[in-house]
Structure 1
Amino acid sequence: MHYLFHPLRAFMKKIAGLILLPLSMGWAHAADIPPFSQMQPGAAVTGWAPVRPSAKAPDTIYTLVRDDDRTVLKAEADKSMSVLAHTIRVDLKKTPLLRWRWKISGPVKSADMTKKSGDDYAGRVYVLFDYPVDKLSFATRAKLKLGEAIYGQKIPTAALNYVWDNRQPIGTLQANTYTDRARMLVIESGSDKAGQWVTETRDVAADFRAAFGEDAPDVVVVAVATDTDNTGEQVTAWYGDLQFLAR
């Protein structure tokens, strides 16, 4: 994908621009991530905001469907990229564990997380943090300041991406190819579990320390995304409820 003012556009697309919604809209309690299982198939997804980082890419289609005897979120990507995000405030000292279920039709075959052109995933769960701006480099602060001036909204300053990759080994942890403010952590890989529901439980506080080398600040956004805008492929994923838990 080509970008106007590439450094900012790229930064906004893959970390900050994912969540271009007001972070001051009011925080939900940690237990209040709206559960898909309590919604009706075919109804609107309530409590989650659609985010469209790129005007050029079509939207990933998110719908509520019945699967495995409960309502889940279905994501259908066709050369597309958009996100569903929920604004929240989570103190990871109290509830550091994030649990969810997901399923994919298959991995994005031509994806390559080491290249910008391959930055696509069948399944992705974002966790964004309230990281102090004054701890960032001057260049990163300048990008944030410009982005906030353009969009009129506060932009998160650190993110973990839990991804279902196509080739990298489980446990791979690296910076996103667009910005080191987003770290990618492979927790499922390949097609062996395609078509199966898989339950994940991650210690977000521990993962943040492994990724950034310091204690985790509060979580301010959680989001899900299935995207194929770089590779031009088609893939489908399903997401179950997400919940923060105490150890």
Structure 2
Amino acid sequence: MYRRFPLPCALLLAALACHSAGAAQPEVPPFSGLTTLAGSGWETLEFPNIHQTTDYRLVTDGGTQVVQAQSRGGASGLIFRLQQPVSEDLTLRWRWKIAGIHADGDARHKDGDDYAARIYVAFAFEPERSGWLARMRHRAAELLFGEALPGRALNYIWANRLPRGTRIANAYTDRTVMIAVESGPEAAGQWRMERRNLARDYREAFGETPPAIVGIAIMSDADNTGEQATAWYGDLVLTADQ
């Protein structure tokens, strides 16, 4: 499924258009068990004025099926929509690998806002916690898109320059916080296992208890730097860790 919207790439991800799936605890479709991406629950998202899209395909790596992403000066993402309340022990686990970082990538600047690999978690919009101007902007965006939109988001990145563990606002919007889970080229070519407590990360990023998750996406992009990116993503798993 393809969608096109008239917003810049990073801003569009910050305003990820997600429907409420209605399921209490939906499983994120595992890449390892898919026969095809089409119809799997993962949707392709393209951006306006970006003619080169990222190629996502199922491949076998080390005997396990994963998604390979290749971007050549462009951008697009894969999105799974869901409705998942966030308990204190809700954890997102995944593994990923990159071929290399962007030489000119820098999360602190709009022209460097590219990453070989990122995991995007979008949360429901909470009008009662938002100011009048934020509510009006959100309502205008909903009228433009014709559907409910999320509010804030966490963006787990394989950073180009930021030190591992750094947390900063996105260069385009402070409603998305970038968290450098990995950084630099030293681990390029190696699978890295990650585990993040979503309630803790949201609270540290925004100072509030998180609302429900409404979307999870993977994305490898190179539209701002004009470079190339190759990454591999293993299964994304939501689990309750004690």
Q: Classify 1:10/1:83 alpha carbon distance in 2 versus 1 (closer, same or farther; 3 Å).
A: closer
Q: Which of 192, 203, 217 matches 2:197?
A: 203
Which residue matches 1:13?
12
Stretch of structure 1 that moved more, 139-148 or 108-117: 139-148
Q: Which of 23, 36, 51 matches 2:19?
A: 23
Measure how far apart 1:125 and its partner are.
0.2
Q: Is the 8 A contact 1:76 1:237 kept in 2?
A: yes
Which residue matches 2:188?
194
> 1:153 and 1:11 mapped to 2: Cα distance?
19
Unaligned runs of at least 5 residues, structure 1: 1-5
Q: Is the 8 A contact 1:45 1:64 kept in 2?
A: no
> 2:132 and 2:142 mapped to 1: Cα distance?
15
Q: Which has the higher helix share?
A: 1
Supply the RMSD in Å over aligned alpha carbons. Answer: 1.9
Q: Classify 1:100/1:89 alpha carbon distance in 2 versus 1 (closer, same or farther; 3 Å).
A: same
> 2:129 and 2:208 mapped to 1: Cα distance?
12
Measure how far apart 1:76 and its partner are.
0.6
> 2:182 and 2:59 mapped to 1: Cα distance?
23
Q: Match of 2:150, SS? A: coil
Q: Classify 1:14/1:90 alpha carbon distance in 2 versus 1 (closer, same or farther; 3 Å).
A: closer
Which residue matches 2:78?
84
Which residue matches 2:40?
46
Q: Classify 1:182/1:107 alpha carbon distance in 2 versus 1 (closer, same or farther; 3 Å).
A: same
Give runs of aligned pairs for residues 225-240 of structure 1, distance below 5 A. Answer: 225-240=219-234
Which residue matches 1:218?
212
Which residue matches 1:3?
none
> 2:89 and 2:26 mapped to 1: Cα distance?
9
Unaligned runs of at least 5 residues, structure 2: 1-5
Which residue matches 1:135?
129
> 2:48 and 2:27 mapped to 1: Cα distance?
29
> 1:82 and 1:181 mapped to 2: Cα distance?
20
> 2:23 and 2:97 mapped to 1: Cα distance?
26
Q: Is the 8 A contact 1:44 1:64 kept in 2?
A: no
TM score, norm. by length of structure 1: 0.89
Measure how far apart 1:65 and its partner are.
0.6
Q: Match of 2:117, SS? A: strand
Matched residues, number: 236
Q: Which of 60, 65, 69 matches 2:63?
A: 69
Q: Match of 1:125, SS? A: strand
> 2:142 and 2:10 mapped to 1: Cα distance?
12
> 2:190 and 2:156 mapped to 1: Cα distance?
18
